Structure 1
Amino acid sequence: MGLTGQTGAGKSTVAKQLKARGCVIIDCDAVTHDPSLYAGTCLTELQNAFGRAIIKEDGTLDRRRLANLAFASEEGKAKLNAITHPVILARLKKEIAAYKDAKVIVLDAPTLFEAGADRLCRRVVSVLADETVRLGRICRRDGLTEQEALTRMHAQQSDDFYIDRSDYTLDNTVAVSADDMDNMLAVLGCAHPGESD
C-alpha cells in the first residue's frame, strides 16, 4: 500500500496507526535521509546541478540547502527528481523484498507518484489536511520559517492531484480516528493484518 499526501498532512501519524494494526511500514523519508544513498555518482550529479554550496564541510549533502535551491523553481525540482528518484526506487525495491512474507507493507512516501513508486503498490492512500494546519505542523516539525515552509508546500501537488490518483483519501486536518482507519482498510480489501484470512 502506498501512503502519500502533502507535507504536513500527517502521513507519519497515519503510518503509526497502521503499524499498530500489524502492517509493516517502510518510511521513505528515513530511506531518503540515509546519507549513503547520495554518495558517489548521485552526490556528484547533485553538485553539478546545484553547485558546491550543497556540500557540507565534511563532504556530505546539505539537505536543507539543496531543498531550498531545488524547490525554488519547477526546473530545480525536476532536476532533483531526475537525479534522486531512480536511486530511491532501487533502494525501495530492496526494502520491499526484505519483507516478502508480510501481509501488508506500507510505503510511507511523500513523493510516491512523482518518484514512480506508486507502480510498486497495489493500493494507494493519500492523507490530506487544511493548508493552514499543514503550515503550522511543518514549521514546528522541521524548524523552518513560514516562508521556507510555504515554498515547500507550494512545490507540491494540489488536493485534486492526490484524490484523482488514490484508491482512498483520509482527511487529517483534525485527526484520523480508529473508525476511519478500520473503514479505510475494509474499503481497500485489506483484512486486519493480525487476523487470519
Structure 2
Amino acid sequence: MSIIVGLTGGIGSGKTTVAKLFEKQGIPIYIADERAKMIMERPDVIQAVQQIFPTSVMNERGLLDRSKIKQLVFDNQKLLDQLNQVVHPQVKKDFDDWLIQHRDYPIVLKESAILFESGLEKTCDVVIVVVAPEEVRIERVMARDGVSKEQVLKIIDNQMKDAEKVKRSQYIIENNNKKIVESDIIAIIRDINLKNHLI
C-alpha cells in the first residue's frame, strides 16, 4: 500500500507548483481541484449541483458555470455545505480509484487546498504545508486570476490560517526560492522513505 502524502497551503502559496516538483521526482500527484473540475462536468453531478441552487448555474454549453457558483457560495455557508456534500464524496471515490491505479508506487501525493477543512488529512499518512509571505501570495493570485488585492485578502481571511496548518503538518515548505524548494522536496522524500523503511 502506498504512503499517502497530503499537500496543502493557502491561496497563492504555490502548492500546485510544489506538487509538480514532487512529480519530477517520480511521485504521482493527484490535484484535487483539477479532478473536481472534471467530476463537475459529469451529467449526474451537473444535475445534482443544479438542484442546490434556485437559479440556473449552467452556461450556454450546458456545463456548470464555476465562476457563478463561486460567487453564489462565497458568502453563503449553507449553499457551500450543500455543494461540498455533492462534490466531496465524488472526489473521494475518484481518489480511491486513482490510488488503486497507482498502488505500485511507494509514495503518492494528494494536493488539496482544503485538506484540513474537508477532513482529508485523516486519509493521509503524512501532511506537508506550503507557505509563502502574504505579499508574495497576493501578487501571485492577482497576476494569475486578474483580481484585486482586496478580493485576494478576502479569500485569505476566509481560509484556515497558515499557523494552524503548520501546527497540524509534519513538514513545512517555504515556497520563496525554487532551488531551495527542490532540495527541501528531495530531503522530505528521503525522510519519508527512511521513516517507512522504503530505502
Q: With structure 1 as the length reference, what TM-score do the two structures score?
A: 0.84
Moved over 6 A (4+): none
Match of 2:19 among 12, 15, 22: 15
1:33 aligns with 2:62: no
1:122 aligns with 2:122: no
- Stretch of structure 1 that moved more, 41-50 or 15-24: 41-50
The whole-number CA distance in structure 2 between the counterparts of 1:168 and 1:71 is 30
Gaps of 5+ in 2: none
Q: Give the number of equivalent residue pairs.
A: 191
Matches within 5 A, 1:48-59: 48-59=51-62
Gaps of 5+ in 1: none
1:89 aligns with 2:76: no
Q: With structure 2 as the length reference, what TM-score do the two structures score?
A: 0.83
- Stretch of structure 1 that moved more, 160-169 or 143-152: 143-152
Is the partner of 1:33 in helix, strand or coil? helix
1:182 CA drift (Å)? 2.7
The whole-number CA distance in structure 1 between the counterparts of 2:64 and 2:98 is 23
1:38 CA drift (Å)? 4.8
Is the partner of 1:163 in helix, strand or coil? helix
Corresponding residue for residue 185 of structure 2: 181
Q: Give the fraction of aligned pairs with identical amino acids, expressed as a percent.
A: 27
The whole-number CA distance in structure 1 between the counterparts of 2:182 and 2:73 is 37
Corresponding residue for residue 109 of structure 1: 112
- Stretch of structure 1 that moved more, 111-120 or 5-14: 111-120
Is the partner of 2:13 in helix, strand or coil? coil
Q: Is the 8 A contact 2:128 2:171 kept in 1?
A: yes
The whole-number CA distance in structure 2 between the counterparts of 1:100 and 1:92 is 12
Equivalent position amino acid for 2:23 in 1: K
String of CA shifts for 1:88-141, please: whole Å, max 9, x gaps: 111111111110101211111112223332232211111111222111111222
String of CA shifts for 1:15-70, please: whole Å, max 9, x gaps: 12211111111122220111x44534433343233333421122111111111221
Q: Is the 8 A contact 2:174 2:181 kept in 1?
A: no
The whole-number CA distance in structure 2 between the counterparts of 1:178 and 1:6 is 19
Q: Is the 8 A contact 1:37 1:87 kept in 2?
A: no
Q: Could you say what the CA RMSD is over the residues aligned between the two structures, in angstroms?
A: 2.2
1:174 CA drift (Å)? 4.6
- Stretch of structure 1 that moved more, 23-32 or 107-116: 107-116
Match of 2:81 among 78, 81, 86: 78
